Structure 1
């Protein structure tokens, strides 16, 4: 008999994990070692997004033990940065993500896509200036709705308080994947709380900024501790130049 319990919708990360796991099996069966490394490192990143630190460590170790560790290092570095950011280790996240965007693999998709995470880590660490160079490159790349939404979120975080709300609302209006839309909603909500506001201005539909079903709890043991699963601590004030 049906239990009456609603089944949680499968997240995008879970769907990607299933597809990548199938691809990994094919690569292993056919001896395509380069793709084995790539897929294990990508699966490690997906484990990090879902808060499964144990699985991340296992896959990352396998990926980096290949004959060409650099092939797997970029996705692994982004995954470690996500784990650090999600667990509140913002200084560690900033250091790792900054190195990823400035290193020899700066052109890789992981180094470009991690820029919004770098911006958040920099702002939460009180050092927004450390994200400006990478974000300038990201802005030039952001020409489609998904990346435009993330670029607007970065502008809200890096710009003046007077322009922040306009940027957050532009990011929410642009749409994008549910997980990123929900993170933007959370950051906008944090900004509203710091501004002692109870909600968006009149005429703005609340559904544009409320977290969506993408906020389903991940399977990993660290998932409940992710910063986007709880009220995040207030970002530090920017540090004086030269300090």
Structure 2
């Protein structure tokens, strides 16, 4: 039998009736059923209906599967990968939803161009897959191994991107970068330039997490230059996210607030990515830049929008943000509630950030428990390789009276190339203006760099620079 366009079963009475007669006729002796038709005309929906009806009639269904002839179907590889996610397309913006419908063959218009298709696919994956992937990694890995050698590479590259992202958020950054490199190699070899850019911007966030602010900004700006003229907003948002993380690691909260505000306007939280993960960032940067009312309004708006219900990760992020914006007399129980959420430690970056914020609050209130939470945050940041945040935790611990050491190699790694140049010139007696003239920087920029590198070296003044550098 043939099937006609439209994957919904509504209005397909004649076809459903024919299926029913085939399944119930001849005393239920139907042994096999073959549906043939053009790609995208709705055979899968009819096949599912047939399997369900056969089960109702007491017939044991051994197998119900569809075979697509890839050369006959536009975007067949994406169709196969995304078909289980089809029920979630209603969560997409209208233009993305229309493109995905055309990928599935559910709309009468011609197939979308590759860039529009890739952007819509990225939006769909972000909506439904990124926070829930860890429980299904084995399925994705199995698909990658099956398809990577001569199979559907169009599925393998975005799958590697998803695995890379999932591995980053679970704190296994070396493994994440290995997956990213596999994706980059395949994307370059097969001409998937869109997915190559998505992997590169994820790596920009990775170097920002590790504390290499200069490299993060360079990679972020490269991505923005590519994405902005093409109107790929989600890629631009990821690029800004890298700059936001870099700025926070340097303690530049004004810049971090500006970047997060361009991703997620204050008071307007949404479910999309990466915006759903910025609630804590906006809360912390707003509080630290004197915008406490804005921070509280945004966190309240996120709760009304139920951002915390998306996943355990967003629940931790939102709970941490509520503690950060709370009044000093009310913050303690909120921090405890955030850290005691089920599986909170599965997200080490966010978990350690909440521990650090709680330790800072405890130190301000002269609570002896501050050392415990600051030490726990430092251990996590050191373990996952977040150098800039680890230094912030060390500084807080020193303020409680706990001696911490980073060692010469750790201190050297924490300095960027430009910071090292500035530190060496300042150590031999050059003024900020003289350093600026040599490195083509303003004297204010030099001063800002010095202010940020002192904590990395465990010193508080220019006079201690020479001794600190000599130990490195």
- Counterparts in 2 of 1:22-171, with a 5 A limit? 22-66=182-226, 68=230, 70=232, 72-102=235-265, 108-139=272-303, 140-143=306-309, 144-171=311-338
Q: Which has the higher contact order (CA 8 A, sep 6+)?
A: 1
Alpha carbons 1:98, 1:131 under 8 Å: kept: no
Structure (1 or 2) with the larger CA radius of gyration: 2
Using the alignment, how far apart are the partners of 1:148 and 1:159 within structure 2?
17
Residue deviations 1:108-150 (CA, integer Å, cap 9, x gap): 4112212211111111112122334543453311123322222
The residue number in structure 2 matching 1:187 is 357
SS at match of 1:78: helix
TM-score, normalisation: structure 1: 0.76
Q: Which runs of 5+ in 1 are unaligned?
A: 1-9, 201-205, 235-243
**Deviation, structure 1 residue 172:** 0.9
Alpha carbons 1:77, 1:96 under 8 Å: kept: yes
The residue number in structure 1 matching 2:381 is 215
1:230 matched to 2:230: no
**Deviation, structure 1 residue 69:** 6.4
Residue deviations 1:25-79 (CA, integer Å, cap 9, x gap): 2112111111111111111111111112243234224323436363532111011
Residue deviations 1:148-200 (CA, integer Å, cap 9, x gap): 22212111111222221101001111124122211111111111110111117
Using the alignment, how far apart are the partners of 2:391 and 2:249 within structure 1?
4
Alpha carbons 1:172, 1:181 under 8 Å: kept: yes
Task: Give the superposed CA RMSD.
Answer: 3.2
User: Which moves more between the two structures, 209-218 or 122-131?
Assistant: 209-218
The residue number in structure 2 matching 1:237 is none
Using the alignment, how far apart are the partners of 1:211 and 1:218 within structure 2?
11
Change (3 A) 1:195 1:153: same
The residue number in structure 2 matching 1:238 is none
- Counterparts in 2 of 1:9-28, with a 5 A limit? 11-28=171-188
Using the alignment, how far apart are the partners of 1:207 and 1:110 within structure 2?
28
Change (3 A) 1:40 1:69: farther
Using the alignment, how far apart are the partners of 1:231 and 1:88 within structure 2?
13
SS at match of 2:191: coil
Count of matched residue positions in the alignment of Structure 1 and Structure 2? 218
Deviation >4 Å, runs of 4+: 103-107, 206-209, 217-220
